[in-house]
Structure 1
Amino acid sequence: MSGRAFRKAINKEYDFLTKRINDEDLNDSEDIDQPPPKSNLFDLLNEVTDDTENRNSDENASEPEINNETLEPSIRLTSSTKKKKKKKNKKNTPAENPMAELEKKTRTGKKVEEMSEIELEALIREINDKFGNLSTAQQSDDNGNEVHQSSTIPSNSFLIIDARLLDADGEMRRMFSSGIVDREIRSRNYARTIKRTLLAKPRQSWPPILKFGLRMELLKENDGIYHFKFIHSQQYQVVQLDFLRRIATHDPNAIISLLHENPYHIDSLLQMSDVYKMSGDHTMAGELIERALYAFEKSFHIKFNITKGTSRMDYKYFENRAFFLGLLRHVQSLSRRGCWQTSFEFSKLLLSLDPSNDPMSVLNFIDYLGLKAHQYTYVLSLANEWVLHKLQDWPNFAYSAAIAQFLLESREENNSAHEMSKAMLEKAILYFPSVILLLSEKCDIQLESDVSESSFIQEVPSSNYLNLLIDHYVDQISPLWTQPELINWLQTVSINVVVKMQIPDYKTSLGDEEFAKALSYGKNLRENSFNEQIPLNLSRYIVVSENSKFLAYLPEVTSRDIDLHDPLPPPDGVSPYDAYSESSNTDWDSILAVDLRRFLGGVPVGIIAILAIYSVILKNYTHYGLFIK
């Protein structure tokens, strides 16, 4: 880019940001779930206590809610008289480069040195997206595909959570009339609490939460990344063993009975949530998931911070798996309610726990949630800059990134040609042509006969793994393809690709060399990159997902029993309950010991040990025929 064009782009961006600053109207709003009480000395004391207890909470948790139109940059722009004056004076000042602008003032009115890590990383990402490649060098691999090598944007920047956007009620207020939503919120009877929780709000109908045997410990810290593990106390292990025994009866009443005695037992809450969901009571199912997440949050380590993207958990530990499962179920529940922004933020949280292994296969649906939440820049950046996987070679990201680019271009007045998004969609079609035909069938899109009858478009992948990825993506993304402009875009680009393959001199958005390389790369990709078995994390997600039709792709999984409270545990899994789970016929004395320990869970450890010895004595009596069962 020439210096003149570069300065012009900067001026345009500055004018854009200044306009947004002046158009914004930031009104300090309070949580209307809980009307503020009259101020008194005790309230002031509570505020001081609350501030002390919330040291590990997100700094932005109490900031005002965000207008739905400005959700894409995760930091809200503020309005001030000083900034309006600066806009007037800006016309007479020379244009500066983006880095100088970054160092002068940020969108929040802070200097760089005053910014938090979250604000700074989000601002850097937006500047890179707007000005293009200021910190990211674009290179081409051997196949002509752009490779982004970033030195300033770590993958961790994609895992940062805006705590304000974890509130589904807040999103509902932004979407609908506040009066209607507020009546619905009041009907839930949220409880008043001193310390605000982020994952779920407690309700007055919930039993008070005391120490129930679940805690979290810090395993290690590496370069600012913290690794945690949940711990089950001896009391909790007794309840868990009882749960395993009751779940084997396949009687929901047995789990309900256990919940009456232990209202915050995680696996029981998630199991009953699944029961209510299958019976059609989605409201109760969602409430039980929220209660489980509330119990988890009350057990967090003081250094466990869900907003910074620096807290990790290993899925191999049994005690951690229910947290992953609860978050995934919550994402599904929020999506069903249409709370796409909240669902998207929770999916980022779920991904942040183990981004390398992604045990719940978040990367197979986060692009869709990002598009539904209007986070187009995020989807584009994730596809190009995620260093742990080459997401551009995945069917969902190849197409979703093109859609995100198209929708971003649609916001610009002078970009009606959509050349960049057309080139991206052409490349996606050359990589995974069968998506087009499936989309046309699913969404009733009329394709040109040359397209629908093309042998290239009709190609069916030989890989079961790739077929599952494509089938799942089409089923998931199809609601977006009801927009006429997207349909016209798809029809135009698909015919261009087919004609180009028949007439090499035909002009497309991709140049001749790029087109040929993408065609060759796509063929190699389909033939060689998806030949392995379906990964365990994807199989696990399919089992937990709400669409059972994809289970047909997993015959080796569905042919065996699956525990829905612990679906498809990892082969290197570590569990204190393995001995119990592997025993198909638990002997009489172990059941007796479990029952005794359950009813005497508060008894000191020494007494429980005596009871265990007594159990062994009973076994010996049984062996010699001195005790009749």
Structure 2
Amino acid sequence: MSGRAFRRAVNKEYELVSRPKSAEDDSDQAEEESDYEQQKTNLFDLLNEGIDDEEEQKSDENEKAKQEKVIIESLVPTKSISSKKKKKKKKISEKSFVKDKENHQKIDNSSKEFSDKFDSLSNVQKNVDSKETFSMSSNIKFLTVDTRLLDADGEMKRMFSSRIVDREIRDRNYIRTIRKTLLAKPRQTWPPIIKFGLGMDLVEEKDGIYNFEFTHSQQYQTAQISFLQCIATHDSSTIFGLLQKNPYHIDSLLQISDIYKMSDDHAMSSEFIERALYAFEKSFHIKFNISKGISRLSYNKFENRAFFLALFRQIQSLSRRGCWQTSFEFSKLLLSLDPVNDPLCVLHIIDYIGLKAKQYEYVISFTNEWEHYNLKNLPNFSYSSAMAKFQSELKELKELKESNNMNVSHEESMAMLEKAILYFPTVVPLIVKKCDIQLDSDIEENEFLHETSPKNFLNLLIDLYVEQNSPLWTQPEVISWFQTAIINVVVKLQVPSYKASLSDKEFSAAFVHGRKIRENLFDDQIPLDISRYIIVSENSKFLGRLPAVANRSINLYDPLPPPDGTNPYSVHTVGPIDGNIIDLQRFLGRVPNANVQIAERINQIADAANLQAAADRLVEILWGVNNNNLNSNNNEDEITNDNSSMPGGFPQEPDNVENESEFEENENNNENIDDA
């Protein structure tokens, strides 16, 4: 029972027990209260009159004794000759006193019980607060989301003219809702949202952290099974048809978003992602809070994974539009859902997005204080924290220039960059080549910068960092700063007496620690979550380096699920690739001259409903292009090796003439269809 409800019950009980029974009882009770008040007044006066004068004390005590005697005598029944009426009245008075005494005792007990319960409630609240304080580690502050900055339109207004942005906003036909949504704004073109079968339950609350899970009703389960059947048909028009019957089915919305993205219609692709997020938000539990960083979802549960994917694709969409601040807030939200396991590897993008959003202090503090991992031992955070410090110093320098104060140096950021180079030296030649940075040949060809690591995982992380973050190293001030740090490290290794930004002790410690990191910290095997991240981030050039992709099929609505995860729909999965038409996009980068040879085919297909047929046709064209290129180079063995590492379970090369003839027959049939 809450404190307010308990107080109300006590007051009601007090009114019942203190209600007068009769006029005589009322008068007797008034006399008793008068005597009690007189006694209370005298005791108060006794305290206020002081205790220095013994005579006054004695007189007060005598007076008190007399008053107590009077009270006792008035309460004790005396023998007197009276009429029956007086005797009856006297008996009533005695009963009234006894009853009043019991009532007062009952009230006192109730008050004491209320006080005890109130104290108990207060103690419970204090214990809860202490638990929350204990569990709310320093990580929580990095997971809080400013919901005001989740509005991409607001960021666009800050970057560009409000008049231009307002015109674009009007074209989107947003509608006003009674309750403001945070993740997406509904549009007039969207169907009205009603109960569509997606819900959320609170699984556990522990130490101030709330664990939730999405749930599928029987209605939603039917739609999900229909979706899997549509996927198996390899026909996108069936998904459009399913979406007409179930306009807020999540996987259908995300699949169609991918279809539009493949056709370079990013506006429609973004709209379907927003529609999925809007459906999710309408299904949130009342206690699911996206701003405080205390709500968790397990990626092991199939029903939860679509929310992770929707947020990741929203981050991609916002980054493509240049809404870096909004993308940064969504990144924190995605990380807060499962900060320990980080199933989509937000830690490999949040540093880059934070730098683009000019959140320099966040990147520095996050690198130094994140408790789950020592982020300084990762290539991206080792270099990004140094970059954040340098940009922060540049910002401070620009502010001081306006006040004619130039007392700002880059010593701290230079030391951080030197340490990063000592930790991961092979990053240097990759950035130098990628950004076309000029170095002396003696420096550029130094053996330390070209140490090859046998760790596949480490090499992949370094390549991912350079591929993503290299645009940040093209600024002239950054290039000069980078060149100086490289020279300091290389010369210091050759001439120990050379003075770098790091002290001799710090330099030696960083050198030793870096070697330990490279040799002992990273495994040879590439983790499953990194493979999953590469797939959802569309880094097609790295797919061939993922054994997890080579040895298993991929469903883009559930890419590389965790081995211990649950999937109630696994019995309904059909086919090795389950109709993942977007695997075509991943495959494009692996076929020489593919874009040139299929561009005309793409332009010939104008109807969005035939995108699936187009994708199927393009797959066949790609296989023809690939076979022609490989046959011309007499690399028949390469076909088998390449197919074994291809995502999505694409069909292997025909092993016999019968299959090959069938393949050619299907290709001819498709050509006839295209001609028609």
TM-score by length of 1: 0.68
CA drift of 1:151 comes to 11
CA drift of 1:250 comes to 1.7
Instruction: Output the CA distance in 2 between the equivalents of 1:152 and 1:574.
Output: 29
Secondary structure of the corresponding residue to residue 480 of structure 1: helix
**Unaligned ranges ≥5, structure 1:** 1-149, 587-629
Secondary structure of the corresponding residue to residue 448 of structure 2: coil
Q: Please, which of 317, 326, 332 is the counterpart of residue 348 of structure 1?
A: 332
Q: Which residue of 1 aligns with 2:464?
A: 472
Q: Please, which of 508, 513, 516 is the counterpart of residue 516 of structure 1?
A: 508
Instruction: Output the CA distance in 1 between the equivalents of 2:192 and 2:135.
Output: 48
Q: Which residue of 2 aligns with 1:297?
A: 281
Instruction: Output the CA distance in 2 between the equivalents of 1:273 and 1:228.
Output: 26
Q: Please, which of 300, 305, 314 is the counterpart of residue 316 of structure 1?
A: 300
Q: Which has the higher helix share?
A: 2
Instruction: Output the CA distance in 2 between the equivalents of 1:193 and 1:204.
Output: 11
Q: Which residue of 1 aligns with 2:634?
A: none
Q: Which residue of 2 aligns with 1:506?
A: 498
Instruction: Output the CA distance in 1 between the equivalents of 2:539 and 2:577.
Output: 33
2:479 is the counterpart of 1:495: no
Structure 1, residues 458-494: CA drift from partner, whole Å, max 9, x if none? 1222211111111111111111112100000000110
Secondary structure of the corresponding residue to residue 356 of structure 1: coil
Instruction: Output the CA distance in 1 between the equivalents of 2:540 and 2:408.
Output: 40
Change (3 A) 1:151 1:259: closer
CA contact (8 A) 2:228 2:574 kept: no
Q: Which residue of 1 aligns with 2:394?
A: 410
Secondary structure of the corresponding residue to residue 420 of structure 1: helix
CA contact (8 A) 1:313 1:354 kept: yes
Q: Which residue of 2 aligns with 1:328?
A: 312
Structure 1, residues 549-584: CA drift from partner, whole Å, max 9, x if none? 121221331343200000000011112212223898
2:143 is the counterpart of 1:159: yes
Q: Which residue of 1 aligns with 2:520?
A: 528
Structure 1, residues 349-397: CA drift from partner, whole Å, max 9, x if none? 0000000000110000100000000000000000000000110000000
Instruction: Output the CA distance in 2 between the equivalents of 1:545 and 1:509.
Output: 37
Q: Which amino acid aligns with 1:468?
A: L
Instruction: Output the CA distance in 2 between the equivalents of 1:284 and 1:583.
Output: 29
Q: Which residue of 2 aligns with 1:389?
A: 373
Structure 1, residues 416-470: CA drift from partner, whole Å, max 9, x if none? 4211101000000000011111001111111222221101111222211111111
2:555 is the counterpart of 1:563: yes
Count of equivalent residues: 437
CA drift of 1:161 comes to 0.3
Q: Which residue of 1 aligns with 2:533?
A: 541
For residues 439-478 of structure 1, the aligned pairs below 5 Å read: 439-478=431-470
Q: Which amino acid aligns with 1:313?
A: L
Q: Which residue of 1 aligns with 2:429?
A: 437
Instruction: Output the CA distance in 1 between the equivalents of 2:195 and 2:139.
Output: 36
Secondary structure of the corresponding residue to residue 248 of structure 1: helix
Q: Please, which of 543, 549, 561 is the counterpart of residue 551 of structure 1?
A: 543
Secondary structure of the corresponding residue to residue 204 of structure 2: strand
CA drift of 1:585 comes to 14
Structure 1, residues 38-75: CA drift from partner, whole Å, max 9, x if none? xxxxxxxxxxxxxxxxxxxxxxxxxxxxxxxxxxxxxx
CA drift of 1:300 comes to 0.2
Q: Which amino acid aligns with 2:308?
A: F
CA contact (8 A) 2:202 2:212 kept: yes
CA drift of 1:305 comes to 0.5
Bigger Rg, structure 1 or 2: 2
Change (3 A) 1:585 1:337: closer
Q: Which amino acid aligns with 2:245?
A: E
CA drift of 1:296 comes to 0.2
Runs of 4+ in 1 over 2 A off after TM superposition: 150-153, 411-417, 578-586
Q: Which residue of 2 aligns with 1:274?
A: 258
Structure 1, residues 75-124: CA drift from partner, whole Å, max 9, x if none? xxxxxxxxxxxxxxxxxxxxxxxxxxxxxxxxxxxxxxxxxxxxxxxxxx
Q: Please, which of 149, 157, 175 is the counterpart of residue 191 of structure 1?
A: 175
CA contact (8 A) 1:438 1:474 kept: yes
Q: Which residue of 2 aligns with 1:427?
A: 419
CA contact (8 A) 1:360 1:538 kept: yes
Q: Which amino acid aligns with 1:508?
A: A
Change (3 A) 1:262 1:582: closer
Instruction: Output the CA distance in 2 between the equivalents of 1:342 and 1:584.
Output: 37
CA contact (8 A) 2:344 2:533 kept: yes
Change (3 A) 1:189 1:157: same
CA drift of 1:279 comes to 1.2
Secondary structure of the corresponding residue to residue 201 of structure 2: strand
Structure 1, residues 318-368: CA drift from partner, whole Å, max 9, x if none? 000000000000000000000000000000000000000001100001000
Q: Which amino acid aligns with 1:380?
A: I
Q: Which amino acid aligns with 1:440?
A: V
**Unaligned ranges ≥5, structure 2:** 1-133, 401-405, 579-676
Change (3 A) 1:353 1:482: same
Change (3 A) 1:368 1:264: same
Secondary structure of the corresponding residue to residue 449 of structure 2: coil
Q: Which residue of 1 aligns with 2:622?
A: none
Q: Which residue of 2 aligns with 1:254?
A: 238
Q: Please, which of 356, 370, 380 is the counterpart of residue 372 of structure 1?
A: 356
Change (3 A) 1:493 1:275: same
Change (3 A) 1:435 1:297: same
Q: Which residue of 2 aligns with 1:3?
A: none
Q: Which residue of 1 aligns with 2:6?
A: none
Change (3 A) 1:328 1:151: closer
Instruction: Output the CA distance in 1 between the equivalents of 2:342 and 2:508.
Output: 34
Instruction: Output the CA distance in 1 between the equivalents of 2:178 and 2:204.
Output: 30
Q: Which residue of 1 aligns with 2:222?
A: 238
Structure 1, residues 222-274: CA drift from partner, whole Å, max 9, x if none? 11100000000011001101111111122111111111111100000001111
Q: Which residue of 1 aligns with 2:385?
A: 401
Instruction: Output the CA distance in 2 between the equivalents of 1:540 and 1:299.
Output: 26
Secondary structure of the corresponding residue to residue 217 of structure 1: strand
